[in-house]
Amino acid sequence: MSRLSSDTLAQLPADVTLPTYDRAAVTCGAVHIGIGAFHRAHQAVVFDDALNAGDLRWGIIAASLRSPGVRDQMQPQDGLYTMLVRDGAAEQARIIGAVQQVIVAPEDPQALLAVLASPDTHIVTLTITEKGYKLDPSSGDLIADDPQLAADLAALDSPQTAPGYLVAALGRRRAAGLPPFTAISCDNLPHNGARLRNAVLELARCHDADLADWIATHGAFPETMVDRIVPATTPDDIAALAARIGVEDQAMVKTEPFLQWVIEDRFCGPRPDFGAGVQLTQAVAPWEEAKLRLLNGAHSGIAYLGGLAAIDHVHEVLALSEARTFVEALWDEAGTTLSPPPELDVAAYRRALMARFDNPTLRHRTRQIAMDGSQKLPQRLLAPIAARLTAGQGIDALSLAVAAWIRWQAGRDDLDQTHQVDDPLAAPIAVALADAGTPKARVAAILAFDAVIPAALTADDRFSAALTHWLTLLEEKGALGALAAFRH
């Protein structure tokens, strides 16, 4: 079967939406670092909308700092891929043409530095996962003993980290008399713009204080809230799409109709005239906090409890009434910690979230969401727990979600099936838990991880007592047994 490419676009079925612009006439005003599934279904679609609207400045040159996989999927397809939007029985296929090139930075660091330093480049977006910023999840400081960051602290001739590439490229732009680019983090981190800015400035200061001052004065690192559920693509997805459109697309992504991108209106150069789903505002934090604590907090609880119960997909977990009751209880708790934007109807938002989670065609794997919990829990669950305890309020659902994360670290589910714990701190956590013989000792071992657990929570007996209660129940009765406590 042929691959999707410029040559096979014309043979696609009539119901497949195609780019309306001349791809050969596009210039690349955007560079993306971290060419994963989310970028292809979110930011790249927004830039593709700008191209379709006639602003040909917004082509994208994308890069991976880690592996050739996506480049090898996209290069034979001239950068084209299908975004498959599924909502129950409805399905819409759209070919995205915005990505013009994919660079594998470890193969050719200078190629990425050159495009970042190009006069054409005005915006750099990043989806490098929460761990990609090389920042301690609890303190927010650079993790200086990270080997890749240590190399970038020593020299930036061939950077290894995202902050390293940004500092090196901004230095070239300054030397060439060019303005900085606007650097936009699109990761699920609170104050993601400030975190990226801090990482860049701290690294820049280690090399050139004047450059750091220049970046601080002239650069822009807008805060964002990003939202679209984009599950990892499976071989079955690729095969089903090929049967539907008649060509093979190894870079396709599947997603839901919903898309939201809230961006702080802080740019140091040109930007697209953003269209549907994008909001420019000065106040991103309320949107970001609501989304991280409601959508992502529930997601993590569903992931660990569902994973422990050997349930593979989010919609299957929520087929259990006790799971729905648990999620509503978690939202009741997290909801009191929010300062929601005036425009946000939280009750309606919760109903919409449950409907999004129920979408059976997304087939969002609990195991994918369970990844990198040490990097996710601080903003999703620990922050609302701290706020609730400060207010003297209960933390039943939120603490059950954290206890399920602790249980997940054991690498075995309730059916005694083993699983890989995919987390940068998995090894030290496993060592700490191995010597802990009781649920109380296991809780104490986890509370000792100050890179994850804020000191105030470690010292709060209410938190350790709640975790011990739930971990004991999880170990004795399993996730379904613990969830039964929420059956009412």
How many CA atoms does the CB half-sphere of 229 hold within 13 Å?
A: 28
If the CB atoms of residues 162 and 398 are measured against ligand NAI, the closer one turns out to be 162
3-class DSSP state for residue 70? helix
Which residue, 36 or 180, has its beta carbon nearer to ligand NAI?
Answer: 36
59 interacts with, out of ligand CS2, ligand NAI, none, CB within 5 to 8 A per kind: none
The footprint of ligand NAI on residues 156-175 (CB under 6 A) is: 162
| Size of interface with ligand CS2, in residues (CB under 6 A) | 10
Q: Contacting ligand CS2 (CB under 6 A), which of 156, 229, 305, 433?
A: 229
Q: Is 313 near ligand CS2 (CB under 6 A)?
A: no
36 touches, from ligand NAI, ligand CS2, none (C-beta below 5 to 8 Å by class):
ligand NAI
DSSP assignment, residue 178?
A: P
Considering only the stretches 37-45, 46-54, 117-125, 168-176, report the one whose residues sit in contact with ligand NAI under the rule CB under 6 A. Answer: 37-45
- Yes or no: say if 467 and 402 are a contact pair by the CB < 8 Å rule: yes
Is residue 134 within 8 A of residue 148, CB to CB? The reply is yes
Choice from 73, 101, 125, 127 touching ligand NAI (CB under 6 A): 127
Query: CB of residue 274 vs ligand NAI: minimum separation in angstroms?
Result: 17
Q: Which of 30, 35, 85, 242 binds ligand NAI (CB under 6 A)?
A: 35
By C-alpha distance, which of 30, 195, 215 is closest to 116?
30
The residue to which tokens 């191209």 are assigned: 51
Among 118, 188, 250, 468, binds ligand CS2 (CB under 6 A): 188
* Interacting positions 317-346 with ligand NAI (CB under 6 A): none
Which one of ligand CS2, ligand NAI, none interacts with residue 299, CB within 5 to 8 A by kind? ligand CS2
- Indicate whether 137 belongs to the interface with ligand NAI (CB under 6 A): no
Quick check: 3 and 79 in contact, CB under 8 A? no
Among 6-14, 105-113, 210-218, 227-235, the segment contacting ligand CS2 (CB under 6 A):
227-235
Are 456 and 140 in contact, with CB atoms under 8 Å apart? no
Tokens standing for residue 304 = 């660990």
On whether the CB atoms of residues 241 and 373 are closer than 8 A, the answer is: no
Q: Is 220 helix (H, G, I), strand (E, B) or coil?
A: strand
Backbone angle region of 146, left / alpha / beta, with phi > 0 → left and psi within -120 to 50 → alpha: beta
Give 243: exposed, middle or buried? Use CB within 10 Å, 0-12, 13-18, 19+.
exposed
51 neighbors 26 (Cβ within 8 angstroms)? yes
**Residue 369 or 429 having the CB closest to ligand CS2:** 369
299 binds ligand CS2 (CB under 6 A): yes
CB of 231 vs ligand CS2, minimal distance in Å: 8
Q: Does 369 interact with ligand CS2 (rule: CB under 6 A)? A: yes
Q: Which two tokens stand for residue 372?
A: 């990198």
Is 86 in a helix, a strand, or coil? strand
Residue corresponding to tokens 């060419």: 35
We find the least distance from the C-beta atom of residue 44 to ligand NAI, in angstroms, to be 11
User: C-alpha angle 460/466/468, rounded to 5°?
Assistant: 105
Q: How big is the chain by its Cα radius of gyration, in Å?
A: 23
Q: Is 131 in the site for ligand NAI (CB under 6 A)?
A: yes
Cβ proximity to ligand CS2, 99 vs 369, nearer residue: 369
Residue among 8 and 300 whose Cβ is closer to ligand NAI? 300
198 binds, among ligand CS2, ligand NAI, none (CB under 5 to 8 A by kind): none
Q: Is 383 in the site for ligand CS2 (CB under 6 A)?
A: no
Bridge-partner residues for 61, per DSSP?
31, 101
Mark 371-389 as b/e (b = at least 16 C-beta within 10 Å).
bbbbbbbbbbbbbbbbbbb
Contact positions with ligand NAI (CB under 6 A) in 57-76: 64-66
Q: Which residue is nearest to ligand CS2, using beta carbons?
A: 299
Nearer CB in complex with ligand NAI: 46/473: 46
- What is the rounded CA–CA span in Å between residue 73 and residue 62? 13
CB of 228 to ligand CS2, least distance (A): 6
Q: Considering the complex, state which of residue 51 and residue 311 has its C-beta at the smaller distance from ligand CS2.
A: 311
Is residue 363 part of the contact set for ligand NAI (CB under 6 A)?
no
Give the amino acid at 417. Answer: Q
Residue 278 engages ligand NAI in binding (rule: CB under 6 A):
no
187 is an interface residue for ligand NAI by CB under 6 A: yes
Q: For residue 93, what is the enclosing H or E element?
A: strand 90-96
For 481, counting Cβ atoms within 10 Å of its Cβ (0-12 exposed, 13-18 middle, 19+ buried), the class is middle
Please tell me whether residue 301 adopts helix, strand or coil conformation.
helix
**Contact partner at residue 384 from ligand CS2, ligand NAI, none, CB < 5 to 8 Å by partner kind:** none
Lay out the sheet containing 81-87: strands in order across. 90-96, 81-87, 253-255
Which residue from 31, 37, 103, 377 is in contact with ligand NAI, where contact means CB under 6 A? 37
Q: CB of 459: closest distance to ligand CS2 in angstroms?
A: 28
To ligand CS2, the closest distance from the beta carbon of 307 in angstroms equals 12
In the bound complex, which residue of the shown chain has the CB atom lying closest to ligand NAI? 36
Contact in structure between 446 and 439 (CB atoms under 8 Å) = no
Q: Which residues bind ligand NAI (CB under 6 A)?
A: 34-39, 64-66, 127-132, 162, 187-188, 226, 228-230
Q: Which residues bind ligand CS2 (CB under 6 A)?
A: 188, 227-229, 295-296, 299, 368-369, 376
